[in-house]
Structure 1
Amino acid sequence: MIAPAPELLRRYGLAARHSWGQNFLHEPSIHRAIAAASGAGPGTRVVEIGAGLGSLTGPLLETGAEVWAIERDRDLCRVLRAELGDNPNFSLHEADAVRFDYAGAGAGLDAPPTIVGNLPYQITGPLLFALLAVHRQTGPWIVMVQKEVADRLCAEPGSRTYGGVTVMLSRARRISVVTQVPRACFVPRPRVDSTVIRLDPRPTIRGEVADEEGLRRLVQAAFQRRRKVLANALGGIAGRDEVVRWCERAGIDPRVRPERLRPEDFAALQRAREEEARGRVGQGGHEVTDATDATGGGGEGAGAP
């Protein structure tokens, strides 16, 4: 069994890097809950994001699973090698979790790898969208995020916390809460509480589209002006008349606010947009793609629509 985080920090003369937003979870019951929720066991592969001091890695290895641990902090990698390097099921990857090859982690497996981890608060958005890009090649995700982020991800259409990140992730994944994690469970103690959530692959995605990036930009544009009616909210990517035509094709009221639309409604709107673009090409025009339009940046947080 691996030693508690405070003891390991003292043993190796280390401290959390505040500039990286490091907070080490030291509550064993939470580690056990995450390991249990992951379904890890013999014959399975788990990819752990941000292995840190190995406090979760140890319980995952105890299940008999093969664990690929991602960690970019060289000092923490030294600890992980010293504490867990003798375990044949342990594989350390000193890498940036946002750029890691999650799809490749499933090569040669009968079932896709499970993703677990305490997502660094500063890069939660980019990490979730990196995973979303390979959601068909990965199994369940069991991740810890800020409670505020978890509330947004679990929100229903029409609620105050419902937004673009909710649309994009809940379209591909069923999202449920595993457990709450008070801030006192970390060292150093952060200023916010956390939540462990599980994101399971949906058997069927909530609305197929041909252009995933086009859908992301459409959702992003809509929620940048979430309190306006849809016909006006999408003014950043199209004229009002064009948006109204998309709505007519999709069977959506152009007077509705974006926060009222379900993920499948946004997908229907994107398909209508694609159909109209194909129609213009068929008539001898030039198709306008998201690679060439003037969509603005910035969403509901780093990397999120």
Structure 2
Amino acid sequence: MSNRVHQGHFARKRFGQNFLHDEFIIESIVAAIQPREGQALVEIGPGLAALTIPVSKQVDHLTVIEIDRDLAHRLLENPILNNKISVIEQDALTFDFNQLSEQLGKSLRVFGNLPYNISTPLMFHLFQYADIIDDMHFMLQKEVVTRLVAGPNCKDYGRLSVMAQYYCHIIPVLEVPPTSFKPAPKVDSAVVKLVPYKNKPYLVNDIKTLSRVTTEAFNQRRKTIRNSLSNMFTDEQLTELDINPNLRAENLTVEQYCLLANAWK
């Protein structure tokens, strides 16, 4: 079966490409982003420019990061876009957003219809640059958005929930059916807004320790934390922190994970 889409480009599986074509959804996303003149707007994976063109109509310039050379070339040749965009042909997973922020002289507003196969690692990559990002609007697999906003004591709550909520205030924007894309994905999608905290609700001395605590806890989420975190804490230490050793990873709040990270020597 051909994956050719209406604009003559083959959707490449290795890049996880699904192109947005639903005008109502596109207008809704652009309205949520609210692009303004003078902002440093950065689109990840512009694809066939479904979002790029309407956003570009509201600003003089935007930067796009596109790994697919064919698509990067098409964007530069597009008569609506060619004077308005800077195209960076690179993998966003390895891109230095600090450098771009310094170059543009301002903090960034990031958006994109993210390929599902890289969405979670890409968000973890972007969290490292939270200090120079004003906000992020992403189209993601609906289940990823559910995990981003999940609170303790439910199965969707996991390491992504804790780390994302440590860095950002998270707001679901809208749900998007598979029919809004070509080729249609096999899953529902959703748009989410992430706003990095200027003053984080909980402070962590070393982010790598928070990363390690959450990884160890959720890698064995069926075990009690007495067992899953036994490499890092004794029962006595957990009790001293007012954390019940019989709880499981999904029962601990973001604040408690931060408490654990700060307590670990």
Residue 248 of structure 1: how far off its partner (Å): 3.5
Q: Distance in 2 between matches of 1:218 and 1:136?
A: 23
Q: 1:252 is aligned with what amino acid?
A: I
Q: Is the CA contact (8 Å cut-off) linking 2:76 and 2:82 kept in structure 1?
A: no
Identity of aligned residues (%): 35
Provide the secondary structure at the position in 1 that maps to 2:62.
strand
Match of 1:53 in 2: 48
Q: Is the CA contact (8 Å cut-off) linking 1:231 and 1:243 kept in structure 2?
A: yes
Match of 2:20 in 1: 25
Q: 1:260 is aligned with what amino acid?
A: N
Q: Distance in 2 between matches of 1:250 and 1:133?
A: 28
Map residues 146-295 of structure 1 onto 2, 5 A cutoff. 146-235=141-230, 237-238=231-232, 242-273=233-264, 277=265
Q: Which ranges of structure 1 fall in alignment gaps of 5 or more residues? A: 278-305
Q: Is the CA contact (8 Å cut-off) linking 2:107 and 2:133 kept in structure 1?
A: yes
Aligned alpha-carbon RMSD (Å): 1.8
Q: 1:149 is aligned with what amino acid?
A: V
Q: Is the CA contact (8 Å cut-off) linking 1:247 and 1:272 kept in structure 2?
A: no
Q: Kindly tell me: are residues 200 and 86 of structure 1, through their superposed partners in 2, closer, same or farther at Cα, counting changes over 3 Å?
A: closer
Q: Distance in 2 between matches of 1:8 and 1:195?
A: 24
Q: Which ranges of structure 2 fall in alignment gaps of 5 or more residues? A: none
Q: How many pairs align?
A: 262
Residue 227 of structure 1: how far off its partner (Å): 2.3
Q: Is the CA contact (8 Å cut-off) linking 1:215 and 1:266 kept in structure 2?
A: yes
Provide the secondary structure at the position in 1 that maps to 2:11.
coil
TM-score, length-normalised on structure 2? 0.92
Q: Kindly tell me: are residues 22 and 109 of structure 1, through their superposed partners in 2, closer, same or farther at Cα, counting changes over 3 Å?
A: closer
Q: Which has the larger radius of gyration?
A: 1
Q: Kindly tell me: are residues 265 and 65 of structure 1, through their superposed partners in 2, closer, same or farther at Cα, counting changes over 3 Å?
A: farther
Residue 233 of structure 1: how far off its partner (Å): 1.7
Q: Is the CA contact (8 Å cut-off) linking 1:41 and 1:65 kept in structure 2?
A: no
Provide the secondary structure at the position in 1 that maps to 2:30.
helix
TM-score, length-normalised on structure 1? 0.81
Q: Kindly tell me: are residues 39 and 111 of structure 1, through their superposed partners in 2, closer, same or farther at Cα, counting changes over 3 Å?
A: farther
Q: Is the CA contact (8 Å cut-off) linking 2:44 and 2:114 kept in structure 1?
A: yes
Match of 2:130 in 1: 135
Residue 25 of structure 1: how far off its partner (Å): 0.6
User: 1:114 pairs with 109, 112, 128, which one?
Assistant: 109
Residue 121 of structure 1: how far off its partner (Å): 0.8
Q: Kindly tell me: are residues 125 and 178 of structure 1, through their superposed partners in 2, closer, same or farther at Cα, counting changes over 3 Å?
A: same
Q: Is the CA contact (8 Å cut-off) linking 1:246 and 1:269 kept in structure 2?
A: no
